[in-house]
């Protein structure tokens, strides 16, 4: 390193970001210390102040130590802080770096806090507004029961909040201050009841609402390409002409209503949950006629509290309605619905499943074994481009008298089609 030109040393050391490494390099030599201002990114791990190099600093206040390191950097672009900090400390760092800072990630640890400490003039959440030029903001453990006191983030493109307690109006107010978002992730958020998201530039959205699963959601984002929703019972999504990837799940409640316009660009659709109203399932399948990858893991249907099996789904009509389907991943209820007695009667000799290349089936019951075997054989017969079929045997009750016979039939079917069929 000593024989290298200063510019090369500065370039190499500028790629350091861990605060532990930065403080260690400062003490190596004057030359290395003078290279530290060229760092672009700083990362303070959760346990950063447990190391001897950090404990040996002149200041014992973690906020002051972080401030000194931030002040040392000429043009800080990224700041990641997982260690504990105060709102006054955060305000000080951001006042120093706000002009150049583009990416900010903070472990807030404020989800259990109920009020601002008496000595703090601003909350941690409000302090973020100092960094007006942010392009990406990631927050962990956020208390957002009051609307953040920010000015508009005109340059913010990515917003991620993981683990938050918020109200409907506080989320809406926060999003209004980020009008040019391209990417929005809200994971493990509780307190939301009914929210509307209207963003003209949003392309990717992932929403995970914690609770009973009875939330209501309205979305209007004309450029939306990818959408994942977890924990909502009522959903209305407008302007879906660009939507290519859609996932809807509700592990804690029931899906009562879905209202989408026709999904003309949709390529991937995933429907998951314990119970969906059948009207919601049938509408989604109808709107997603152009889908290429379909994943279905819904256990029951039923409009009220009663858990009901899926009604019969005509095998031929289903695949005629989804001619571009390439990969089909279905679990017990949907597979059973395709295996009804009348599903494969009077099949037209010209019928085919033209694009299907891969199918994954989860079988949980030996009931209607004959119809299920007939459906498996139909996949091989009519899907002439089929390259892979995976049959997953999951929690099948061995006490049932027909279980062994059914399993033998599946093994025989696998042997007859061993080039494409696999049993798990």
User: Does any domain span residue 356?
Assistant: yes
Contacts with 94 (C-beta within 8 Å, 6 or more apart), sequence order: 101, 104, 127, 128, 130, 131
The CA distance from 225 to 235, in Å, is 17
The CA distance from 359 to 383, in Å, is 10
Phi-psi region of 12 (alpha: psi -120 to 50; beta: other; left: phi over 0): alpha
User: Does any domain span residue 181?
Assistant: no
Q: Which residues pair with 360 in a beta bridge?
A: 329, 390
If you search the block for the tokens 């029931």, which residue do you land on? 254
Instruction: Order the strands of the 257-260 sheet from edge to edge.
Output: 194-198, 215-220, 232-238, 257-260
Residue 336 · residue 371 · CB < 8 Å: no
User: Does any domain span residue 360?
Assistant: yes
Residue 224 · residue 244 · CB < 8 Å: no
| Angle in degrees, CA 284, 265, 329, rounded to 5 | 50
Would you state the pLDDT for residue 120? 56
Report how many domains make up the chain.
Answer: 1
User: Does any domain span residue 353?
Assistant: yes
What's the pLDDT tens digit per position in 191-235? 999 999 999 999 999 999 988 888 999 999 999 999 999 999 999
Contacts with 61 (C-beta within 8 Å, 6 or more apart), sequence order: none
User: Does any domain span residue 185?
Assistant: no
The CA distance from 125 to 113, in Å, is 12
- In SS3 terms, the chain reads as CCCCCHHHHHHHHCCCCEHHHHHHHHCCCHHHHHHHHHCCEEEECCCHHHCHHHHCCCCCCHHHHHHHHHHHCCCCCEEEECCCCCHHHHHHHHHHHCCCCCEEEEECCCCCCCCCCCCCCCCHHHHHHHCCCCCEEEEEEEEECCCCCCCCCCCCCEEEEEEEEECHHHHHHHHHCCCCCCEEEEEEEECCCEEEEECCCCCEEEEEEECCCCEEEEEECCCCCEEEEECEEEEEEECCCCCCEEEEEEEEEEECEEEECCCCCCCEEEEEEEEECHHHHHHHHHHCCCCCEEEEEEEEECCCCCCECCCCCCHHHHHHHCCCCCEEEECHHHHHHHCCHHHHCCCCCCCCCCCCCEEEEEECCCCCHHHHHHHHHHHHHHCCCCCEEEEEECCCCCCCCCHHHHHHHHHHHHHHCCCCEEEC
The CA distance from 111 to 129, in Å, is 19
What's the pLDDT tens digit per position in 13-42? 777 778 787 777 766 666 666 677 888 899
Would you state the pLDDT for residue 398? 59
Regions of the chain short of the pLDDT cut 70 = 1-4, 6, 9-10, 26-34, 51-60, 110-121, 343, 396-401
Q: Is the dihedral of CA 140, 143, 145, 147 positive or negative?
A: negative
User: Does any domain span residue 335?
Assistant: yes
User: Does any domain span residue 145?
Assistant: no
Would you state the pLDDT for residue 115? 45
Residue 200 · residue 222 · CB < 8 Å: yes
The CA distance from 129 to 366, in Å, is 60
User: Does any domain span residue 342?
Assistant: yes
pTM of the predicted structure, to 2 decimals: 0.89
Q: Which of 33, 40, 32, 34 is nearest to 16 (CA)?
A: 40
Residue 272 · residue 254 · CB < 8 Å: no
Give how far Cα 248 sits from Cα of 7, 69, 254, 280, Å: 52, 44, 11, 11
Domain that holds residue 343: 309-423
| Helices 403-416 + 369-382 axis angle, to 10 | 10
The CA distance from 136 to 129, in Å, is 13
């Amino acid at each position: 390193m000593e024989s290298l030109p200063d510019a090369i040393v500065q370039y190499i050391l500028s790629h350091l970001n861990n605060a532990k490494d930065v403080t260690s390099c400062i003490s190596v030599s004057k030359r290395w210390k003078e290279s530290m201002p060229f760092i672009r990114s700083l990362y303070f791990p959760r346990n950063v102040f447990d190391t001897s190099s950090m404990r040996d600093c002149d200041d014992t206040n973690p906020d002051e130590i972080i401030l000194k390191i931030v002040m040392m950097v000429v043009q800080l672009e990224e700041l990641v802080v997982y260690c504990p900090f105060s709102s006054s400390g955060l305000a000080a760092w951001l006042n120093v770096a706000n002009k150049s800072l583009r990416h900010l990630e903070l472990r807030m640890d404020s989800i259990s806090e109920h009020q601002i400490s008496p000595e703090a003039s601003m909350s941690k959440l409000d302090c973020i507004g100092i960094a007006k030029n942010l392009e990406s903001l990631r927050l962990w453990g956020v208390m957002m029961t009051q609307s953040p006191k920010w000015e508009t983030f005109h340059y913010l493109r990515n917003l991620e909040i993981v683990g938050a307690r918020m109200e409907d109006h506080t989320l809406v107010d926060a999003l209004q201050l980020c009008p040019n978002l391209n990417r929005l992730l809200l994971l493990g958020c509780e307190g939301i009841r009914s929210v509307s998201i209207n963003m003209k530039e949003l392309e990717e959205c992932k929403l995970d609402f914690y609770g009973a699963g009875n939330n209501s959601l309205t979305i209007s984002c004309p450029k939306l390409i990818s959408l994942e929703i977890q924990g909502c019972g009522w959903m209305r999504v407008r302007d879906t002409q660009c939507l290519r990837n859609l996932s809807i799940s509700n592990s804690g409640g029931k899906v009562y209503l879905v209202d989408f316009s026709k999904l003309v660009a949709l390529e991937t659709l995933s429907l998951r949950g314990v119970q969906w109203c059948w009207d919601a399932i049938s509408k989604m399948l109808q709107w997603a006629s152009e889908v290429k990858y379909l994943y279905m893991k819904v256990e029951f249907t039923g409009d009220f509290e009663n858990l009901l099996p899926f009604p019969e789904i005509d095998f031929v009509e289903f695949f005629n309605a989804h001619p571009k389907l390439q990969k089909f991943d279905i679990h017990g209820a949907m597979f059973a619905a395709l295996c009804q007695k009348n599903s494969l009667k009077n099949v037209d000799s010209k019928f085919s499943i033209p694009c299907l290349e891969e199918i994954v089936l989860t079988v949980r019951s030996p009931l209607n074994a004959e119809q299920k075997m007939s459906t498996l054989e139909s996949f091989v017969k009519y899907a002439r481009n089929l390259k892979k079929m995976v049959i997953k045997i999951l929690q099948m009750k061995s006490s049932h008298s027909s279980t062994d016979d059914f399993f033998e039939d599946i093994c025989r079917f696998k042997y007859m089609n061993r080039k494409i069929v696999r049993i798990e």
